[in-house]
Amino acid sequence: MCSIDALLKGFQRFREKYFQGSDKPYDRLKLAQRPDILVIACSDSRVDPAILFDANPGDLFVVRNVANLVPPYSDHGGALGVCAALEFAICQLEVEHVVVLGHSQCGGIQALATGPDGEFIPQWMYIARDASSDQTSAKALEQSSIRLSLGNLMTFPFVKERVDEAKLAIHGWYFDLDSGELSGYDHQTGVFKAIPR
Ligand SMILES: [Zn+2]
């Protein structure tokens, strides 16, 4: 789909845009990053948050992993990369929003439904085992997994403290690859609703 040569040509276009144009954002960004938003997204090549949200360098602090999972604080399953990124973004960068971004046709979630193969994937997907208890469709399971990660986020003391003080908001979003629609988890009703365009 994309060769190494195409990748390097892409980098040249990036340089022309961000280092040679009239506005040179890296003059500022090289000094520090100050993103307001942490996105926890899937590693899936179709759901890059920066592309989905047409974001600029410096806008988003991003954690990507298989099936956009957040482990629970007390039983993080060795997922130190996720925990360290959460701690850095929330405690040091002091982001104001965390978005757990799930998506349709998620291979990780499909593996959860069918029984994951491999050496590491089963251990990783074990984090989401409780999402699969009574879900009948892939979409329901994908959305249940987002809800689970939102719940797990709140088990981190530094998250709960900031949410309680209204310094941090957590969001669950779901991107549908079929329709191109984005829906958001409504904390009041417990369901996902289309986010108006
Ligand atoms: Zn996925």
Q: How far apart are CA 84 and CA 81, in angstroms?
A: 5
pLDDT of 155 higher than 90: yes
> pLDDT tens, 61-86?
999 999 999 999 987 767 899 999 99
- How many angstroms separate the alpha carbon of residue 196 from the centre of ligand 1? 23
- How many angstroms separate the alpha carbon of residue 21 from the centre of ligand 1? 35
- How many angstroms separate the alpha carbon of residue 130 from the centre of ligand 1? 17
pTM attached to this predicted model: 0.95
pLDDT of 131 higher than 90: no
Q: What is the dihedral of CA 62, 97, 137, 104, to 10 degrees?
A: -40
Using only the alpha carbons of the chain, give its radius of gyration.
Answer: 18
> pLDDT tens, 161-177?
999 999 999 999 999 99
- How many angstroms separate the alpha carbon of residue 32 from the centre of ligand 1? 30
Domain layout of the chain by residue ranges: 1-32, 35-194
Tell me, what's the pLDDT at 30?
94
- How many angstroms separate the alpha carbon of residue 69 from the centre of ligand 1? 10
Tell me, what's the pLDDT at 117?
87
- How many angstroms separate the alpha carbon of residue 65 from the centre of ligand 1? 8
- How many angstroms separate the alpha carbon of residue 106 from the centre of ligand 1? 4
- How many angstroms separate the alpha carbon of residue 165 from the centre of ligand 1? 32
Is 100 within 8 Å of 150 (Cβ atoms)?
A: yes
- How many angstroms separate the alpha carbon of residue 102 from the centre of ligand 1? 7
- How many angstroms separate the alpha carbon of residue 119 from the centre of ligand 1? 18
Banded pLDDT at 4 (limits 50, 70, 90):
very high
**What Å distances lie between residue 78 and 95, 99, 126, 142, 145, CA to CA?**
24, 22, 12, 22, 19
**35-194: CATH, from 1.10.4190.10, 3.40.50.300, 3.40.1050.10, 3.30.720.110:** 3.40.1050.10
